[in-house]
A and B are shown apart, each in its own frame.
Chain A
Amino acid sequence: GESVGLHLPTLSVQEGDNSIINCAYSNSASDYFIWYKQESGKGPQFIIDIRSNMDKRQGQRVTVLLNKTVKHLSLQIAATQPGDSAVYFCAENAYDSYGQNFVFGPGTRLSVLP
């Protein structure tokens, strides 16, 4: 079935380096994507979103890139800090007979090394 997946389940980066977390999706009809950050024992936190009519969106230290041709989404974190250590999920909107919901990818754990 349609799904959202990640290329890398874990990612370790040095503090101060840039991080890139990738996500592949298979539903070409998805028109909205979100990246969430989840710290241990907490609920997901919204980081940044992007609509399908865009290919890049920037926030504070984060950038999301969308490549619809290859159905690929990435999250770039500049100057990674220890507080960025968490699990990151991409999510795509999906529609079924009940309406709209979000489908989450499996997640990538980001570990920031001192």
Chain B
Amino acid sequence: GAVVSQHPSRVICKSGTSVKIECRSLDFQATTMFWYRQFPKKSLMLMATSNEGSKATYEQGVEKDKFLINHASLTLSTLTVTSAHPEDSSFYICSARDLGQGPYEQYFGPGTRLTVT
């Protein structure tokens, strides 16, 4: 089946620094990738939709200047948390859509746990 990877799986950074999270579709081309945020014991909240070759579209309330998304190729999207603060600590999950499987198919990565100290 379709595989989506994320790197790193865990990252600890100091407040004020920036952190980049990568999301890769390993065996399919993903024209669309999604970035979610999940707080402990809470559901996934969509942050933004990333389309290859174009600007990401952000959900209401998500700061686009703080959460920079780049989808430079059909297999890679990156999320950069800029000037991270402790409240940015969360579990970030990406998913990728394989259009070859149909418009509804969406495969999730394993997630990246970010801790900002």
Contact = CB atoms under 8 A, between A and B. Distances in A.
A99 interface: yes
Nearest to A100: B103
Interface stretch (B12-20, B40-48, B69-77, B79-87): B40-48
Contacts of A101: 34, 46, 49
Contact of B104 (A32, A89, A107): A32
Contact of A107 (B43, B46, B93): B43
A103 B113 CA distance: 21
B106 interface: yes
A43 B110 contact: yes
B47 to A, nearest CB: 11
B108 interface: yes
B116 to A, nearest CB: 18
Interface residues of A, number: 22
A100 B105 CA distance: 11
Nearest to A9: B41
Contacts of B6: 43
Given A104-B43, A104-B44, A106-B42, A44 B108 contact: yes
Closest 10 CB pairs of A and B: A43-B108, A98-B57, A43-B111, A104-B43, A43-B110, A104-B44, A44-B108, A106-B43, A43-B93, A107-B43
26 contacts: A32-B104, A34-B104, A36-B108, A41-B111, A42-B111, A43-B6, A43-B93, A43-B108, A43-B109, A43-B110, A43-B111, A44-B93, A45-B108, A49-B104, A89-B44, A98-B49, A98-B57, A99-B32, A99-B57, A100-B103, A101-B34, A101-B46, A104-B44, A106-B43, A107-B42, A107-B43
Interface of B: 4, 6, 32, 34, 42-46, 49, 57, 91, 93, 95, 103-104, 106-111, 113
